[in-house]
Every structure is written in C-alpha cells, then in structure tokens.
Amino acid sequence: MQEVRVFAPATVANVAVGFDILGFAIQRPGDEIVARRSTEFTGVRITTITGTGDKVLPLEVERNTAGTAALRLLEHLGLQDSVGIELEVHKRMPFGSGLGSSAASAAGAAVAVNTLLGSPLTREAILYFTVLGEEVADGSFHADNVAPCLVGGITLIRSNESLDIQHLPVPANLHVAVVHPEIEILTRDARAVLSDTVPLKTAIHQLGSLGSFVAALYTNDLPLLGRSLRDYIIEPQRKQLITGFDEVQQAALERGALGCSISGAGPSMFALCDSGYLAQAVGQAMQAAFQQRGVESQLYVSPINQQGVQILSEIS
C-alpha cells in the first residue's frame, strides 16, 4: 500500500455518569488523515495540517497527537529506521470543543499507518499508541475518547492503566444531539476546576447511576437510561464554564431528551434521545437556549457511530 486516507469521528466522553471511563462515537464531525509512504526519509513526518483556522498545530512529530501515535506504532513494529511515512492532518472539527479532536487525529493516524503497513495489528492492539498520542495534547493517559473513536460504539474503560476496554450494547433507536457553542474550553483548564475529593454520599449516587446506565444498555430500557444520566460529581463543577448551561439542559429535557450533560471537558453539550426526529428537535431547542444567552452554536444529530475510524481510500 502506498497511500491510505481515513475518517476519524468525533466522540462524546464521560457520558455524564462515567468520568474518564465512558465514551461513544458519533457520525460527524471528524478529522481526515492521510498516510503516505516515502523513500526520502525514514520514520514519520507531518507534511500538511489544514482546517486549523487561526490556531497553529505543531508539525513536530513528538508534539503532535497524530505524529506521536504514528511514530510509537512504527517503533513498536521496529520499522522506524526502515520505513518512511508522510502524514497529512485535515482538521474537520473545532478545537477545545469537548468532541475529542486530539483523539480523532491520534486514532486516525494510527489506523492509517497500520493499514498502510498491511494491518499487522488489530484495532484493539493499536489503542495504546492512540492514547500515547492524545496524551501529548492534554497530559493525561485516558481512553474515553480514543477508544470509541478507534472502534466505534459505546465503550467502558474498566482500567485506563491497563486499557481494559469493554464494548457495551447500543439500543437500536438511540440517537444523540450534540451542540457545540462558540466557547472554547481547553481540557487542561476543565480539569483544573475539579476537586480531588468526593463526598461518600455523592459517590454512592454516581455509582448507582453508572450501574443502572450500563444495565439499561443491556436491557434496552431507555426510560431507565434516562433516569441514569445524572452527573453528581463533574457536571456541578464544570457547568460554570459554559454560558447558559442550566437553560440549555432544561430546554433539552423539556423537549423530551432522555438526558443532557457536558460532552467531555465541554463546552459542547449532548442529549440522548429515543429517535432521530426527537434528537433534531431537542438539538434545535438547545441551540435556541444558547442563542438567548447570545451564544452561537453548531448542531450535530447522529445515531451512535458503531464503526469508528473509517478507511476512505487505499492506493496500492
């Protein structure tokens, strides 16, 4: 293979009840990554980054999420001194959005390079290298964005340290509305507002919600899923960073959403719904609530993306 182009989808991490351990992929937005063989050098080089607007992403491989994931994969295979790979990174989602932008670039690069080399590793096996890539962006080793981006669906991370990932069932009619307000929150800043301690009573409430959320997925019980989407720990601390959070959440619930909370570190907000039609209506209600606070936003409506990173083209 001489060239591979992939699409890496956005993701919703935490899912209200599972901070750093739950996530799911959506259909769009996402990044496109191109990996191409080169005979002019060995190792990895990033030749092009587009879609960054006024942001500047580093071309240096060790400082770039896509570059780091690709290089670590190449090193694992022992090919860093014999194979040359050029990367193009085409950003198709906003930065600091809470939609897993850095995870998408890392996962997309790892899949593209693995495919370029004849797919010597499974997607589960390349997860470690994608986490290393995202760690460059936020300084934290966690897979709640990269895992669902890589393999699709809803994933539960039993352990981030050992990357013990479980795939959870997806109810057939489950759709999501994701609204991205024109506010930027960096993951590092969103983590800085969090307390290191949690009261025992609060932890009990959260554990109950997490357990019933997982049970609802296995039993296809959407009303139970809705009752379970209550974040007692992270949401109360982070919602202050999102202008109009309470009004937007209320608008989603009043319009019929199963639940509504913060996507990842924010500022994007997600609402799970029992149909695509309802998700569209809920998303529009959320946008209207943001608009009333003078905040413009973008809406993405999608079923759960169960494919993950998609190979768009291959050139032999």
pLDDT tens digits, one per residue of 270-312: 999 999 999 999 999 999 999 999 999 999 999 999 999 999 9
Q: Which residues are annotated as a binding site?
A: 94-104
- pLDDT (0 to 100) of residue 115: 98
Same domain, 133 and 191: no
Binding residues for ATP: 94-104
Q: What is the greatest pairwise CA distance in the chain?
A: 61
Q: What is the CATH number of the domain that holds 108?
A: 3.30.230.10
pLDDT, residue 190, reads 80
* Segment 210-266, tens digit of pLDDT: 999 999 999 999 999 999 999 999 999 999 999 999 999 999 999 999 999 999 999
Round to whole Å and give the CA distance between 108 and 227. 34
33 and 133 inside one domain: yes
Judged against a pLDDT cut of 90, whether residue 56 lies above it is answered with no
- The model's pTM: 0.95
**What pLDDT is recorded for position 188?**
72
Q: By CB neighbour count within 10 A (0-12 exposed, 13-18 middle, 19+ buried), where does 294 fall?
A: exposed
Euclidean distance between CA atoms 100 and 263, whole angstroms = 9
| 94 and 191 inside one domain | no
Query: Rounded to an integer, what is the distance from CA 131 to the centroid of its chain?
Result: 12
Q: Does residue 204 share a domain with residue 83? A: no
Whether residue 186 is predicted with pLDDT greater than 80 in this model: the reply is no
Angstrom CA distances, 233 to 193, 195, 198, 216, stand at 12, 9, 7, 21
- Asked whether residue 228 falls in the same domain as residue 263, the answer is yes
Q: Classify burial at 265, counting beta carbons within 10 Å of its beta carbon; exposed 0-12, middle 13-18, buried 19 or more.
A: buried
Residues 20 and 95 in one domain: yes
Q: Are residues 189 and 128 in the same domain?
A: no
> What residues act catalytically?
134, 187
User: Over the chain, what is the mean pLDDT?
Assistant: 95
Q: What percent of the chain has pLDDT over 90?
A: 90
Backbone phi, psi, residue 222, to 5°? -70, -35
